[in-house]
């Protein structure tokens, strides 16, 4: 199952078993780590690759089979949809995706050669209706993006050619530090998301939390 990739591994010591689902973001690109970092720096400022990943790292980076992956526990860089679109113009296929299941937030943006392929953004805590751009990926019928364990996200990444599961469980990763002195420029996707959020934002007096039902999950 794709959910196995979200479990803690020797390569990613900052991960404990999340019994309440996925709580991180991912970036994947059809580029070497050197190519990826050069392009990332153009959009988001300076980055520094550190020593092998430790529990305190907010971001880690690694390469597998010529593809670069970033694991982002801050979920800041991995939700920059327009940056992903711009980077794909030079790198080929670039994807950002992730989930924060406490707030019911799920997202994925995939782009190839500067053209958006698919964008999904759902936030149950803030919006009454999610948004989507582009045709559903073939994997979404059996593995919806809204899956608490990340099955839908890992299935989509695999279909797009990214072995994120293999990288998380088998390949090495190093700490990645971002200076934060420059944020990526917002573009068309960001504008669409903001307009959608403003249109479907939950009212302050919405009592939706009273209808939430806790899900008890068996320990693996």
Rounded mean pLDDT of 159-165? 95
C-alpha dihedral (93, 68, 96, 86), degrees to nearest 10: -50
Sequence spans of domains, the chain: 20-203
Phi and psi at residue 103, to the nearest 5°: -90, 0
Task: With cut-offs at 50, 70 and 90, classify the pLDDT of residue 178.
Answer: very high
- At 8-19, the pLDDT tens digits run 343 454 443 344
Rounded mean pLDDT of 89-106? 93
Q: CA neighbours within 13 Å on the CB side: how many for 135?
A: 3
- At 128-154, the pLDDT tens digits run 999 999 999 999 999 999 988 889 999
């Amino acid at each position: 199952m794709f959910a196995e990739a979200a479990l803690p591994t020797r390569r990613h010591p900052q991960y404990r078993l999340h019994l309440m689902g996925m709580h991180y973001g991912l970036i994947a690109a059809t580029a070497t780590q050197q190519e990826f970092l050069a392009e990332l720096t153009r959009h988001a400022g300076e980055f520094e690759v550190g020593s092998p990943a430790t529990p305190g790292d907010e971001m880690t980076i690694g390469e597998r089979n010529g593809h670069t992956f970033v694991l982002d526990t801050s979920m800041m860089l991995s939700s920059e949809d327009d940056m992903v679109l711009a980077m794909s113009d030079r790198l080929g296929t670039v994807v950002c995706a992730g989930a924060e299941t406490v707030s019911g937030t799920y997202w994925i943006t995939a782009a190839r050669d500067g053209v958006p392929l698919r964008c999904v953004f759902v936030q149950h805590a803030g919006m009454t209706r999610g948004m989507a751009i582009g045709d559903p990926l073939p994997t979404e019928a059996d593995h919806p993006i809204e899956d608490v364990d990340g099955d839908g996200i890992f299935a989509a990444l695999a279909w797009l050619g990214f072995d994120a599961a293999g990288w998380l469980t088998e390949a090495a990763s190093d700490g990645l530090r971002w200076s934060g002195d420059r944020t990526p420029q917002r573009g068309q996707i960001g504008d669409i998301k903001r307009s959608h959020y403003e249109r479907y934002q939950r009212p302050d007096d919405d009592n939706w939390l009273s209808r939430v039902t806790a899900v008890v999950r068996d320990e693996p």
